[in-house]
Chains A and B, each alone.
Chain A
């Protein structure tokens, strides 16, 4: 007979969730800031440079004031690693939702979560299936949050391509940004999922956004360079940097399938991980 997590551990999870959202919403990870600074240095167009300077100024100001750097504080997407000594129970999901409700009040977050049809707002960023929680086994209990804004999420795409279209993946990725233009707040980060299943490929694309963007493999670099030929630039006002990075995650798939998904992420590639000690 195995007992569930202790109340003290659940309280820690709730607190850690709040802390992770506070950090993610008010401070960008160092690799993202470095990529934005690099882009600002590379742009020659005064308008593109100006947009990136505004972004860098905004990042400093949000950190200094401890306020959300973007008013779209997103919907709560949460990734857990759960070690063998923690039984995965509904109480853990509830503790994370509790942390989201606290974060909504305390950070504060904008209440963004609504019923999809009635559009009724819960007022606390939780609801059916929200927070979206993804679980994997691990050595330690960690909570990673990825608050996802709608401007970029709305521009994301999935395609069930044909096995003969491997060479056309690049075109699909570039076309995604051609359609998106300035709407997802470029310079963007693109999470690309390739393979797996119809549902799984979109999850891969989002997980790719958790990867550090200060390095790309040759395929990722090729996709990123191709996107940047479009010249959409910061905020769609023209420029060299349409994408800061492209990150790819793959899974094995059916011999007759080639699922491809692009999860578009704005320049505010917010993510933060907190460990919960036993």
Chain B
């Protein structure tokens, strides 16, 4: 058995060879963004180079210039808000809980969705260094924090070929429910 695939931002075509279910680690810069940050970026422009970038669906706890606690937020809230980032060259979305069918299609041929265990915020923070911030006026939870990752372990939830771990689980759960319902 081989170990996890080691990825580093900025990401390129290497993400296209990943498959749903693969274990990876991610190092380098990621940008946090939740609902308000997506809306602000749509209106005012993306305040960083989106080519090969990774977006982390996260609103961390920050104190005295340090990331204290920084697990993923529910990615599906960004289902309707992610296409412009992928169009601009973003190669990875990171979060929890998976994303909608429209995003599975938008990822196709260009980017992946990576899942981190929800709620594991102390664990995530132990692999992070704060490097900067954009849109700080949006508040701690909604600002775009610039974070350097040191080999954060992730699972490929949705690959660039339509493979979707969450979708498979959803389909099976639906079948069970209809059978017993």
Give A residues with C-beta under 8 Å from B: 47, 51, 54-55, 57-58, 61-62, 65, 67-73, 108-112, 119, 121, 123, 150-151, 154, 171, 174-175, 178, 181-185, 226, 229-238, 266-268
Chain A residues touching B, majority SS:
loop
Q: Which chain A residues lie closer than 8 Å to B139 at the CB level?
A: 111, 121, 123
- Cβ contact of B177, chosen from A55, A69, A230, cutoff 8 A: A230
B135 to chain A, nearest CB (A): 13
Residues of chain B with a CB closer than 8 A to A229's CB? 176, 180
Pair A238/B68 contact, Cβ less than 8 Å: no
Q: Indicate if the CB atoms of B141 and A47 lie closer than 8 Å.
A: no
Across the interface, which residues of B come within 8 angstroms of A230, CB to CB? 173, 176-177
- Count, A-B residue pairs, CB within 8 A: 155
**Does any Cβ of A come within 8 Å of B118's Cβ?**
yes
Q: Is the CB of A70 within 8 A of B69?
A: yes
Q: Are B168's CB and A238's CB within 8 A?
A: yes
Residues B97-129 near A (CB distance < 8 A): 97-98, 115, 117-123, 125-126
B123 partner, pick from A58, A151, A233, A238, beta carbons under 8 A: A58
Q: Is the CB of B122 within 8 A of A55?
A: no
Tell me whether chain B's interface is mostly helix, strand or loop, or mixed. mixed
* 10 residue pairs from A and B, CB less than 8 Å apart: A58-B120, A70-B71, A121-B139, A181-B97, A181-B166, A182-B97, A182-B169, A183-B76, A184-B74, A238-B165
Question: How many Å lie between the Cα of A73 and that of B58 in the bound state?
Answer: 13
Which of these binds chain A: B46-54, B59-67, B84-92?
Answer: B59-67
With known contacts A54-B123, A230-B177, A231-B172, A154–B59 Cβ distance under 8 A = no
Q: Please give me the residue from chain B that is nearest to A155 by CB atom.
A: B74
Residue of A61, A183, A232, A235 near B126 (CB, 8 A) is: A61
Whether B69 contacts A181 by the Cβ 8 Å rule is: no
Residues in B with CB closer than 8 Å to A73 are 61, 69
Q: How far is the CB of B144 from chain A (nearest CB, A)?
A: 15
A174 touches B61 (CB 8 A): no
Tell me how far the C-beta of B112 lies from the nearest C-beta in chain A, rounded to whole angstroms: 15
How many residues on the B side are at the interface (Cβ–Cβ under 8 A)?
A: 44
With the chains together, A232 CA to B174 CA distance in Å?
A: 10
Contact of B176 among A57, A231, A236 (CB under 8 A): A231
Question: How far, in angstroms, from A110 to B62 measured CA to CA in the complex?
Answer: 8
How far is the CB of A77 from the nearest CB of chain B, in Å?
Answer: 18
Q: Are the CB atoms of B177 and A68 closer together than 8 Å?
A: no
Say yes or no for B140: interface residue by CB 8 A criterion: yes
Q: A54-B120, A110-B61, A181-B166 are in contact. Are A47 and B21 (CB under 8 A)?
A: yes
The distance from the CB of A155 to the nearest CB of chain B, in whole angstroms, is: 9
Residue with the greatest number of chain B CB neighbours at <10 A, chosen from A68, A184, A234, A235: A235
Q: Is B70 close to A, CB under 8 A?
A: yes
Q: Are A71 and B58 in contact (CB under 8 A)?
A: yes
Of all chain B residues, which has the CB nearest A57? B123
B96 touches A185 (CB 8 A): yes
Which residue of A is nearest B153, CB measured? Answer: A54
B69 touches A68 (CB 8 A): yes
Query: Taking the complex as formed, is B44 at the interface, i.e. its CB lies under 8 A from any CB of chain A?
Result: no
B45 at the binding interface (Cβ < 8 Å): no
Residues from chain A with a CB closer than 8 A to the CB of B117 are: 51, 54-55, 58, 234-235
The distance in angstroms between the C-alpha atoms of A47 and B155, with both chains bound, is: 9
Within the complex, the shortest CB–CB distance from A224 to chain B, in Å, comes to 15
Other contacts beyond A71-B68, A237-B166: 19, CB < 8 A: A57-B120, A58-B71, A58-B117, A61-B123, A70-B69, A70-B119, A71-B59, A72-B121, A73-B61, A108-B63, A151-B96, A151-B97, A182-B97, A183-B74, A183-B98, A184-B74, A230-B177, A235-B115, A267-B119
> Measured between C-beta atoms, what is the minimum distance from B113 to chain A in Å?
12
Identify A178's interface contact among B60, B140, B168, B173, CB under 8 A: B173
- Decide: B140 and A237 in contact? CB cutoff 8 A: no
